[in-house]
Chain A
Amino acid sequence: MSNNIEIRAELLDGIKELCQSDRGIVLVSLCTTDGFSIKSFASKELSGEADKLAAMSSTISALSDSSAKQVLANKFDVTIVESEAGNILFVRATYLKLPCVLTVAAKSGLALALARYKTKTLAKKIGSIV
Chain B
Amino acid sequence: MVYRKLAIIGEVGAGKTRLISSMSEIQPFETEAESSIDIGKKYTTVGIDYGRISLSEDSALGLYGVPGQERYSFLWELVKESLWGLLVLVKYGEEPNYQNLNKLLTFFEPQNKEVACVVGVTHCENASDQDLTALNSEIQAILEHHKLVAPVLYVDPRNKESATSLLHVINSINGSFSA
Using a CB–CB distance below 8 Å, which chain A residues touch chain B? 1-3, 5, 32-36, 51-52, 54-56, 58-59, 61-63, 66, 98-99
If A1-B37, A34-B44 touch, whether A62 touches B32 (CB-CB below 8 Å) is yes
User: Is the pair B74, A99 in contact by a Cβ cutoff of 8 Å?
Assistant: no
Contact with A along B33-58 (1 / 0, CB 8 A): 11111010000101100000000000
User: Is the pair A62, B31 in contact by a Cβ cutoff of 8 Å?
Assistant: yes
User: Is the pair A33, B31 in contact by a Cβ cutoff of 8 Å?
Assistant: no
Residues of A within 8 A of B33 (CB): 32-35, 58, 61-62, 99
If A33-B46, A35-B71 touch, whether A5 touches B32 (CB-CB below 8 Å) is no
Contact of A32 among B31, B36, B47, B69 (CB under 8 A): B36
Q: Taking CB as reference atom, which chain B residue is nearest A60?
A: B47
User: Is the pair A59, B69 in contact by a Cβ cutoff of 8 Å?
Assistant: no
Using a CB–CB distance below 8 Å, which chain B residues touch chain A? 29-37, 39, 44, 46-47, 69, 71-72, 74-75
Residues of B within 8 A of A52 (CB): 71, 74
How many contacts between A and B, using CB within 8 angstroms?
Answer: 61
B39 to chain A, nearest CB (A): 7
Bound form: Cα–Cα A33–B29 in Å? 17
User: Is the pair A3, B36 in contact by a Cβ cutoff of 8 Å?
Assistant: yes
User: Is the pair B72, A59 in contact by a Cβ cutoff of 8 Å?
Assistant: yes
Q: Taking CB as reference atom, which chain A residue is nearest B12?
A: A1
User: Is the pair A3, B34 in contact by a Cβ cutoff of 8 Å?
Assistant: no
User: Is the pair B75, A59 in contact by a Cβ cutoff of 8 Å?
Assistant: yes
If A36-B36, A66-B31 touch, whether A59 touches B71 (CB-CB below 8 Å) is no
Bound form: Cα–Cα A32–B44 in Å? 12
Contact of A56 among B31, B39, B74 (CB under 8 A): B74
If A1-B39, A33-B46, A63-B47 touch, whether A55 touches B71 (CB-CB below 8 Å) is yes
Bound form: Cα–Cα A1–B46 in Å? 15
Residues of B within 8 A of A55 (CB): 46, 69, 71-72, 74
Residues of A within 8 A of B71 (CB): 35, 51-52, 54-55
Bound form: Cα–Cα A66–B30 in Å? 8
